[in-house]
Amino acid sequence: MLSKSKLRIVWAIAIMGMMAMTACSKTEEQQPEDTTKSKNVTLSRKTDYGDDWIYFSLREGKELSIAEANHKTDLSWDLAFNRYNVRTNSGLSGNGQGGALKTESTSFDDVNAVPAGQFAIDTVYIISAPGSGFPPPTMESTANLVLCEAIAFSGPPPAYTPSPNVFIVRLADGRYAKFMAIGFYNDEGVSGYYTFKYALLD
């Protein structure tokens, strides 16, 4: 049987161990997230042509549920996708500080700063629906002319080709991210699923 003095020592060691574990846990919890780490994203669904947009927050790394009637004044989104058409939260599409710039670089990893250049904001854009007759139906909408070049359509047969260039996206809050289109197909090979890589820039 342990004496009282030995019991005190055992209890002291146990308490110190618990305090050390708690301190380590708090240290791990307080580690800031590496927001500059690149992320690959494939959108969750195939959109219809027209006013069917998927809104995405680069800051939060997720799709957002935003009514089309409210997107202009909503500052939570940074990009929106309708098939291979892309909006930024700027100009005629939104009240944010968004915009886009196409760089000359074809290496995603080599772009670590915002280059000098004029950022394009969203303007009037004509959306067409290839494969729905000839000529295909069209409608007037808004989009970013620069980011709409990130995936090119050609055909028939329909082909969707990602640009080799890295783009800089200015977010709704004025921060920046590098962006690169990767593809337009889901894991089953069905077209219409925009896939891209991005990383926030310091």
Give pLDDT tens digits for 166-188.
Answer: 999 999 999 999 999 999 999 89
Scanning the structure block, which residue is given the tokens 């927001």? 35
The domain locations on the chain are: 41-201
Q: What confidence tens digit (pLDDT) does each residue in 133-176 have? A: 566 778 899 999 999 999 998 877 889 999 999 999 999 999 99
Angle at alpha carbon of residue 44, lines to 186 and 64, rounded to 5°: 150
CA 40 – CA 174 distance, rounded (Å): 22
φ, ψ for residue 6, nearest 5 deg = -70, -40
> Hey, what amino acid is at 196?
F
pLDDT value at residue 31: 45
The pTM assigned to this predicted structure is 0.80
Task: Please report, for residues 12, 31, 91, 99, 192, the alpha-carbon distance to residue 26 in angstroms, rounded to integers and kept in the order given.
Answer: 21, 9, 43, 39, 44
